[in-house]
Amino acid sequence: MTALTLSTSAAPGLRADAIVIGVAKGAKGPVVAPGAEAVNEAYDGKLAGVLETLGASGAEGELTKLPSPAGFKAPLVIAVGLGAEPEDRDYPAEALRKAAGVAARALTGAKKAAFALPVEDAAAVGAIAEGVLLGAYSFDTYKDNGKDPKAKNGKAPLAEAALLGGKPRDAAHKAAAARATAVSEELNRARDLINTPPNDLTPAIFAGIAQEAAKEHGIKIQVLDDKALTKGGYGGILGVGSGSAATPRLVKLSYTHAKADKHLAFVGKGITYDSGGISLKPAGHNETMKCDMSGAAAVFAAVVAAARLGLEVNVTGWLALAENMPSGSAVRPGDVLRMYSGKTVEVLNTDAEGRLVLADALWAASAEKPDAIVDVATLTGAMMLALGSRTFGVMANDDAFRSTVHEAAEEVGEPAWPMPLPEHLRKGMDSATADIANMGERMGGGLVAGLFLREFVGEGITWAHLDIAGPAFNEGGPFGYTPKGGTGSAVRTLVRLAELTAAGDLG
């Protein structure tokens, strides 16, 4: 992973492969952003005009390369777009994060780069650091890159980034950089898991990875295998995993702090591969289904990040891990499962399996009476149709908590949107055979899934459901600090919720 340093050095004398500066979109053309004063002076104050001549406008995601002026030790200047110039010149954290990510991606193969982006405060330091660390990410485990295991398409990711304007002796700046490092490293761990082929990430292997991380970071862990799940009556997880030779697991990660008086529970859907089961997905819809464990990856990463940050809150993570495959032993449409809660569920569609494993994990989490439960899942294609590929839906049994979760997501730069749980849709899941069916009305399918999950949340417990089906896996090209493939969606939202809870600010 890219090494971060804070530096008060002047850009001209810094030895690096490139100097990264910001350029904003002004009313009359590109505007050089704060942090690039030394570069602008070396161009006799005409850098904006030079950039405009080269076609730069300052638009978000835009990148322009030009040779460094005389006297600079770095041979290259990279000007990256920050979007519209703010009236108060106070650039939003997300604009800085995205710009740093764009530059970091462009610097693949470089040994060192200096980032001279606007640094007003510690929050800006954290945003730039996150952008660099997330933008430099690559997954090349299965590519032949010669002798360099870190190589990205033949080139290693950016090795070192110096954040100019970041003060190495300033406690707030150091803390912001340390937080960004911990969160980004865990988010990138989640990305690695999501990108790992399903033949190398079965439920048992995932549980083993969690055990190693728990040991490293002082987190208590409990792993229920298929025998323990059978003994405990976890019918949902067992039913979904019954068609696969790779048996299911339920993993419980418990991070505790001696001074904590609040408890959060995070629950993640971990379908390590989803064929759809007997309700088989058609060709064209199953090639990326290794990503159906993105919710569990996000929960895992968030719990470890909370431990690394030493947050004064108790956080429990539940990873509901199974592989959904068709076979002679697989659950069939029409089967009835008795869930861990004791309720019975008629399975009308075996491809609506995520809600079945989550139901067991939600009930298990509820037994501990946490102050709030948040589940994360790549749950429905309907949510993608509603919100697109970059925004996740937020549902809850409490409007105030739904707003808090939504605001936390937006604060950290994860697009989200509050969604309702219309009571009239519940009737569509009535079953003549069981307590409830796992399918309801087709229209509003994402909301129906949320209503199903609500049935398995303990009475009186505040709960939210994040449907990350859209943003969890980027099938298009990279943008900002988001790579192609697994994105680590919801990790930063969960960490922020833990921070708010630790600070006593969770609504």
- Cβ contacts of residue 410 below 8 Å, gap of 6+? 416
> What is the chain's alpha carbon radius of gyration, rounded to the nearest angstrom?
24
DSSP state letters, 169-181:
T-HHHHHHHHHHH
Q: Is 355 a catalytic residue?
A: yes
Residue tagged active-site, from 290, 355, 402, 496: 355
Of 192, 123, 50, the residue nearest 485 (C-alpha): 192
The count of other CB atoms within 10 Å of the CB of residue 117 is 28
Residue tagged active-site, from 174, 281, 338, 454: 281
- Three-state helix/strand/coil letters over 5-44: EEECCCHHHCCCCEEEEEEEEECCEEEECCCCHHHHHHCC
E-assigned strand segments in 61-134: 63-67, 76-84, 112-116
317 neighbors 301 (Cβ within 8 angstroms): no
- Cβ contacts of residue 82 below 8 Å, gap of 6+? 22, 23, 24, 25, 33, 58, 60, 91, 95, 96, 99, 117, 118
Reading the block at residue 335, the tokens are 């089967």
Reading the block at residue 139, the tokens are 């997954």
35 neighbors 93 (Cβ within 8 angstroms): no
Q: What angle do CA 248, 251, 253 make, to 5 degrees?
A: 170
The H or E element spanning position 254 is strand 249-255
Active site residues per annotation: 281, 355
